[in-house]
Structure formats: C-alpha cells, structure tokens
Amino acid sequence: MAEMEWKTAVAGQIGAETVIRGYPLTELIGSVSFAEAIFLVLKGETPTEREKKLLEATLVAVIEHGIAPPSIVAARMVLSGGNSINSAVAAGALTLGDFHGGAIEMLAKILQESLTPDVDNVRSLAKRIVHEFKEKNQRVPGFGHKLYKRDPRALKLIQIARDLGFKGKYIDFALAIQDELEADSKGKPLPLNVDGVTAAIMSEMGIHWRNGTGLFIIGRIPGVVAHVVEEKMREKPFRRLPEGSHKYDGKPIRHLTEKK
C-alpha cells in the first residue's frame, strides 16, 4: 500500500549502524563540526573546507537580532501563557514566514532557476528579472533595509566568500540585481540584505533553494531558545498588552433586545 511506505534518504539503519547520508553516526561524532553535519544532512555530502567556513559564517550571521522581531515576541508570549520550552520555540519557528526570512527561499529560487550554465552575462539577466517584477508590480525579494544603505552583515559575508575563493557568480548576479533596482529607485538605497546574501551564498554552495527557509530556521533557533529560557528565568507569567497600548474601535455598545 503506497501510504504505508515511509522512505527516507536522510538517515536510517544499515545493519546495526545508524547512518546519516551513508556515514555511521558514531563516526561523525567528534570528526565533523555541527555546521558540517548540517551541510551533510541538507545536501547529502560533506562540505569542502571552504564550504564549511562559509556555512559557519552564514549561520552565525542570522543567529540573533534582538528582542523586537515578531518571532521573539510570539515565542515569549507562548512561554508566558504557562507553556513548555519546546512549544515556545515552535511558535518562534511558526513566525518565520514570507516576511521574516522567507526572502531567502524566494530569491534563491530566482537565482538558481535563472542562472543556467549557458548564461554569461549576469547584468542583462538581472535587467530582465527586475523588469519582470516591475511588470507584475512586485518587489524582488532580498533587497532593501530600514536602517542601512548597505547591510554590514551582507558585506561581511560577501567578503568572506570572495576571500575563500568562491567563483561568486550567484553573488555577482545578486549584486547586479541590486544595481538594476537602484538605477530605477531615484536614489533610494535598495541594498542586498542579509536574507538576499544568504540566498546567493547557499546557491554558491550548491544547496537547493528549497532549503532556504530551513537554513534560516536552523540559524535562528538558538537565538529563540536563548530568549525563551530568559523569559522563563527572568519574567513573571502572563504578559498582556499594557493599558493604553491597545483599543477597541468596533461597533458602539448595543443590545440584543434592540433587534426586533
């Protein structure tokens, strides 16, 4: 029966051995770093030395960004209602949607599907992509930042990728899109942001765009855990919105008896 079959190529038993993508788990423990194991689990192969370094840097870049984002507020609210650590962390993961890390997967899809081996001019390709989005009246995901003209995390990651000797065709492509967007934005900066650069970098490492959101979740969850544990150890339960920060603006008072 088709539905009975639960098949996986990620991990399982071969004889008495638990293997991950073919490698015995006990052999991996102590031999590879956590980031290397993440690469193996997602891509199916261990990374090269420079892929390892670039992935470590990328995961560090997204690990934490303060208490203000909706994912942290949602996670702390769940804890505050009197729930378990894992429930609260799950609420953090639930929040990481289209507007909260989702640009990684969306841009990685564009980069990987457009930049076929035969393309040799990323600039004209970038022009086409920007034009297509403009036609559809949509924003290209992965560009723009509230505070920065250039996102320092993105600049740092690009520098690391260059120093490690990556070819950088996806990075060049992403930067060409940035240039096209800014040529059309009347002086408004639309920098490749940390989501956008993550999309380019995972493409450089040959990680399929479908892993974009997952990569961001993996990177961000430690930060969520730290916040949730802090909420548990430092705050009183049951956070409500404070008086004065919210209001009812619906129907004025009325009564069931007024209806005939």
**In whole angstroms, how close is the CB of 171 to its own copies at the nearest point?**
15
Site string for its own copies, 103-122 (x = CB under 8 A): --x-----------------
Figure out which of the listed residues 99, 128, 150, 185 binds its own copies, where binding follows CB under 8 A.
99
Which strands make up the sheet holding 17-20, listed edge to edge?
11-14, 17-20, 23-24
**In whole angstroms, how close is the CB of 147 to its own copies at the nearest point?**
8
Q: Which pair of structure tokens corresponds to residue 17?
A: 């051995």
**In whole angstroms, how close is the CB of 167 to its own copies at the nearest point?**
19
What does the alpha-carbon distance between residue 166 and residue 79 come to, in Å, rounded to a whole number? Answer: 42
Residues 6+ apart with CB under 8 A from 110: 129, 140, 141
Site string for its own copies, 25-44 (x = CB under 8 A): xxxxxxxxxxx-xx--xx-x
**Residue closer to its own copies (CB basis): 123 or 164:** 164
Q: Per CB under 8 A, does 10 bind its own copies?
A: yes
Figure out which of the listed residues 123, 206, 239, 260 binds its own copies, where binding follows CB under 8 A.
239
Figure out which of the listed residues 49, 120, 135, 243 binds its own copies, where binding follows CB under 8 A.
243
Beta carbons within 10 angstroms of residue 259's beta carbon = 6
Figure out which of the listed residues 153, 170, 173, 205 binds its own copies, where binding follows CB under 8 A.
153
What does the alpha-carbon distance between residue 18 and residue 24 come to, in Å, rounded to a whole number? Answer: 6
What does the alpha-carbon distance between residue 255 and residue 232 come to, in Å, rounded to a whole number? Answer: 43
Q: Per CB under 8 A, does 186 bind its own copies?
A: no
First to last CA, the chain: 59
Say if CB 170 and CB 111 are below 8 A apart: yes
Q: Per CB under 8 A, does 238 bind its own copies?
A: yes
**In three state form, how does the secondary structure of 142-184 look?**
CECCCCCCCCHHHHHHHHHHHHCCCCCHHHHHHHHHHHHHHHC
**Residue closer to its own copies (CB basis): 142 or 219:** 219
Binding segment (CB under 8 A) for its own copies, from list 74-82, 118-126, 127-135, 171-179 = 74-82
Site for its own copies in 75-94 (CB under 8 A): 77-78, 80-91, 93-94
Site for its own copies in 121-140 (CB under 8 A): none
Q: Per CB under 8 A, does 230 bind its own copies?
A: yes
Residues facing residue 17 across a β-bridge: 14
Say if CB 228 and CB 89 are below 8 A apart: yes
Query: Letter for the amino acid at 89?
Result: V
**In whole angstroms, how close is the CB of 169 to its own copies at the nearest point?**
21
